[in-house]
Structure 1
Amino acid sequence: MIEQTPLQGRRLSALGWVALTLGSGCLGIRYGSATAWGSWGLLAAGVILVVAGVWAVLRGRQHLTPVLTSLQGLPADERVVLFLRAFSDDPGFSRVAALRWFRLLFTSLLPTPAHLRTEEDQVGRAVAPFGRMVALGRPSDRLPRLGAERSYASDETWRTEVLAALDRAALVLLVAGAGRSLAWEVDQVVGRDAPTRLVLVVSRDRDQYGRFRESLGDRFPNGLPDYPPARMRHRLLRGRYVRAAIWFDGDWTPHWEMLDGRFPLIGLARRTQRALPRALRTVYQRADVPARLTPTTPRPWAVKLSVPLIAAFWLIPLALPVLAVILADAVNAAVNAALSGPSGAPAGTGTGASGDSFTIGHNNVLDLLSTAWPMWLWMAVVAACGYRVWRGGPYVIMMARIQGVFVPVYLLAFILATLPAYARLAFVTLGLLVLVVLSMPVAAMLLIRRDVRDWVDSRL
């Protein structure tokens, strides 16, 4: 029986992302610790926080994911994708990239919503142009799995549910597994003689596909292909759980496609989601659907506000040297003008001195701007990062969250340590420093909002 609590789901999701932000920050600064014990402590704290955060986010999503009352009651004008599999495959399809042990131990894991997508969720997003992916859930589930939207039926009604969805599905995904129920589903799919609507998903390993082919391969009019020999390319580029896909021509001729990535260790978080449309290009073209849906979620106001706050944090310190030169030259011009007045010099002399001082100050500023090329380079980097935040870049947004927590702490400690020196600065400069310290924490809080997380997730 499903026991969802939406309020608990929202709390778990928010706390999970806070833990992920803190944990990623600990993993990122562990090498800066002064002692070996401090480095190991930060590593342990980071791993614990990241694992706990991943668990909390995934559990929160389970509380929030929709549950269908019935596959028969779906809107008549809505396109759906029917996901058929043995319940024993559910744990494998629930794997996520964020919990791969080598990423936690040997890299500073920077988790994004893509790293928290299950294999089933990736499959569902890949076939989203065909419609909403639906499935029957295991009756013993307490919370729904992440991926296909599930309906929970009894032993007496589940066949009726499958048949109702099968008759209207724009695409049928059948996972090559084992079980008597799956055998019945294979018979129903093949009996409808619609091979162009069927994709056979090969998961787990060669042995599972071999058992499926041996027991049910003869149900397909032209049989099923052999599992190809293992190659080094496939070992390096294969997905987390989903290995291949088989699509069919109108006469049931099967075509085997390996779901490999393009580069080793790159794009692991969305390897299945990206590889599936590439492998099934003919299926997409035949159905006249795009390989990917265009995101329609509007940009949240929190993202619009966070971009100038982040820019202020990184660019205002660059303006302080220029401001200091301008203030120093202004004071110098005022002093020269004051000294020239009582000396009895002509009025034109005082004006000339002031004009010379202004010219000198103007030249000082130009010299500073022309020689400080790293400042221009840094401004370009900040502009590029701000643009990526504006566009919903998951890595840059996660970096902004981490920086919003950790960088102001170091900056505030530095300011407090040198307070007497800063106390002599002008009031405007102190106000700018306060803005710098506060802008990133505010931006971090904005970027961790649920509407921002959902917006970033919709663009992946």
Structure 2
Amino acid sequence: MLVVRAGEGMAVVRDTGRAGRSVLSAALLTVGGWVLRVVGFGCAVVGFARWKSAFRTGPYVEHPAWWQTYVLFPLLLAGGGLLFLLGQQAGVQGRRRRAAPVRAAELAAGSFVLYLRSFEDDRRRAGLEESRVRGIGSVFSFLYVSGLTEEEQLTRVLAPVAPVVAVGEPGERLPLAGARRFYLPLDDWQGTVSQLMGRARLVVLTAGLTAGVLWEIGEAARKLPPERLVVLVPMGPGEYDTFRDRARAAMPGRPDGTPYLELPDWPPERTGEPVQETVFKGAIWYGTGGEPHFVGLAASGRRPPPLRSRVRAHLEGGLRPVIDRARPGRHR
């Protein structure tokens, strides 16, 4: 049973049905996940090797029966891939059960990164990173999936700055894997989020068209020095223009009528560079003088290594200047 108790401007979530059992279930899911991955990998390798050897030619080659070549070995390959992916999903569920909610009172100033986004965006980032391998590598494309959710990839990129926290969706049975969650009442969340913005070492906001996200970027423009804000852009140019227009309307303005925070135009496409599918199309960060930098993440000079997460590689490359500047020990 899920119990939500209001206190100190927020709701504390306690799952009494899992009390005393979450550690055990997390351990079982984690161990079971690794077993499934090992078994799945072995089945896939054996299936592919036997299927490939069935087409060898030569006087001393013994060919397997047709049903082995066209049924058994492909099933081993496909079944192994499925077991591997199920093992990764089990690992995600284990990490969700190990995740403990945090309270705002525990968050000291400068000790955390505040991650803001819509709850719809949560559902998009909760899945495993997709594999986009092409050609012969696609046979083992399940191996190119990192085993981390897209949100976990983001929190790994931001980890050098500080641990990442986020508002949890009210009523969710388990926190999602990635940022640590804290919970707020539905009718009184803006004050706490505004306070946390001022105390965060860095605020990372995913652009969106919901009323909550538009309020958050307006409040960030009012509350923060621009260099402490990063805006992730998960949409294309057309939807970004709509977001920019609505965000400008939500922002407080200077006496001359200009907004406190500048959202730049979509950068022109660079010719000759490969455009890659990616979760986040771009990212906006600000210099110490408030000047915006829009970094395109869908086009990069070279592809990440085959077994490296694309989400993580693109974000690390695009956000390296602001992460280096915000990490502890750097002059701010």
> In 1, Cα distance between the equivalents of 2:173 and 2:106?
23
Q: Distance in 1 between matches of 2:238 and 2:97?
A: 34
Which residue does the alignment assign to 1:59?
A: 93
2:119 counterpart residue number: 87
Percent identity of the aligned residues? Answer: 29
Residue 240 of structure 2 corresponds to residue 225 of structure 1: no
- Displacement of 1:86 after TM fit? 1.2
Q: How does 1:49-448 map to 2 (within 5 A)?
A: 49-68=83-102, 70-71=103-104, 73-76=105-108, 79-97=111-129, 106-109=138-141, 111=143, 115-218=146-249, 219=251, 220-221=259-260, 223-230=262-269, 236-239=275-278, 241-259=279-297, 260=299, 263-264=302-303, 266-267=305-306, 269-287=308-326, 289=328
CA contact (8 A) 1:117 1:269 kept: no
Secondary structure of 1:124's counterpart equals: helix
**Residue 31 (str. 1) matches residue 48 (str. 2):** yes
- Alpha-carbon spacing, 1:250–1:32, altered in 2? closer, same or farther (3 Å): closer
Contact 2:81–2:142 (8 Å) recurs in 1: no
Displacement after TM superposition at 1:192 (Å) = 1.6
Shift of 1:285: 4.3
State which structure, 1 or 2, has the greater radius of gyration over its C-alpha atoms.
Answer: 1
Note if contact 1:9-1:64 (Cα within 8 Å) is conserved in structure 2.
Answer: yes
Contact 2:232 2:284 survives alignment (8 Å): yes
Alignment equivalent of 1:44, drawn from 78, 82, 91 = 78
Distance (Å, rounded) in 2 between the aligned partners of 1:268 and 1:237: 16
1:101–1:286 CA distance, 2 compared to 1 (3 A): closer
Alpha-carbon contact 1:81-1:132 (below 8 Å) kept = yes
Going from structure 1 to structure 2, the CA distance change for 1:129 and 1:233 (only over 3 Å counts) comes to: farther
Give the alignment's Cα RMSD to 1 decimal. 3.0
Give the Cα–Cα distance (whole angstroms) in 1 for the partners of residues 185 and 134 of structure 2. 41
CA distance change for structure 1 residues 119 and 217 in 2, over 3 Å: closer, same or farther? farther
Closer/same/farther in 2, CA of residues 222 and 182 from structure 1, 3 Å limit: closer
Counterpart amino acid of residue 158 in structure 1: W
Report the Cα offset of residue 119 of structure 1: 1.9
State the partner residue of 2:8.
none
The question of whether the paired residues in 1 share the 8 Å contact of 2:167 and 2:182 is answered with yes
- What is the alpha-carbon distance in structure 1 between the residues aligned to residue 200 and residue 296 of structure 2? 24
Over 3 Å counting, the alpha-carbon distance change for 1:197 and 1:39 in structure 2 is: same
After superposition, the Cα gap between the structure-2 partners of 1:101 and 1:255, relative to the gap in structure 1 and judged at 3 Å, is closer
Deviations 1:139-185 (A, max 9, x none): 13222112111111111332232123112101010111121111221
Q: In structure 2, what is the Cα distance between the partners aligned to 1:228 and 1:201?
A: 14
Partner residue of 1:13 out of 7, 24, 30: 30
| SS at 2:266 equivalent | coil
Determine the C-alpha separation between the residues in 2 that align with 1:131 and 1:22.
36
From the superposition, tell whether residues 126 and 101 of structure 1 become closer, same or farther in structure 2 (CA, over 3 Å).
Answer: closer
1: CA distance, partners of 2:178 / 2:274: 25
Partner AA of 1:96 in structure 2? L
Superimposed CA distance per residue, residues 16-43 of structure 1 (whole angstroms, 9 cap, x where no aligned partner): 1111111111111213334312212212
Aligned-pair CA distance for 1:76 = 2.6
Q: Contact conserved, 1:84 with 1:172, CA < 8 A, in 2? A: yes
Query: Mean alpha-carbon deviation: is it higher for 138-147 or for 27-36?
Result: 27-36
Q: Which protein is richer in strand relative to its size? A: 2
Provide, for residues 389-416 of structure 1, a one-character-per-residue CA deviation record: whole Å limited to 9, x for no partner.
Answer: xxxxxxxxxxxxxxxxxxxxxxxxxxxx
CA distance in 2, matches of 1:146, 1:89: 14
Which has the larger displacement, 29-38 or 85-94?
Answer: 29-38
Q: Which shifted more, 224-233 or 133-142?
A: 224-233
Q: Mind listing any 5+ residue stretches in structure 2 that lack a counterpart?
A: 3-12, 51-63, 252-258
Aligned residue pair count? 287
AA in 2 matched with 1:91: R
The letter of the residue matching 1:184 is: W
Shift of 1:250: 4.0
Name the stretch that deviates more: 153-162 or 189-198.
Answer: 153-162
Q: Report the CA distance between 1:115 and its aligned residue.
A: 0.4
Residue 199 of structure 1, CA deviation: 0.7
* Partner Cα distance (1:216, 1:185) in 2: 9
Q: Offset of 1:134 from its aligned partner? A: 0.6
Structure having the larger proportion of residues in helix: 1
CA distance in 2, matches of 1:103, 1:25: 22
**Are the aligned partners of 1:221 and 1:252 in contact in 2 as well (CA < 8 Å)?**
no
The one-letter amino acid paired with 1:145 is L
Q: Give 1:29's aligned amino acid.
A: V
Structure 1 residues 235 and 66 mapped into 2: Cα distance closer, same or farther (>3 Å)? farther
Distance 1:103-1:8 versus aligned 2 partners, 3 A rule: farther
- Shift, 1:226, TM fit: 2.2
User: Contact 1:98/1:111 (CA < 8 Å) preserved in 2?
Assistant: no
Could you tell me how far 1:286 is from its partner in structure 2? 3.6
**TM-score, length basis structure 2:** 0.75
**2:60 corresponding residue in structure 1:** none
Describe the shift of the 1:205–1:263 C-alpha distance in structure 2 as closer, same or farther (beyond 3 A): same
Cα distance between partner residues in 2 of 1:95 and 1:232: 32
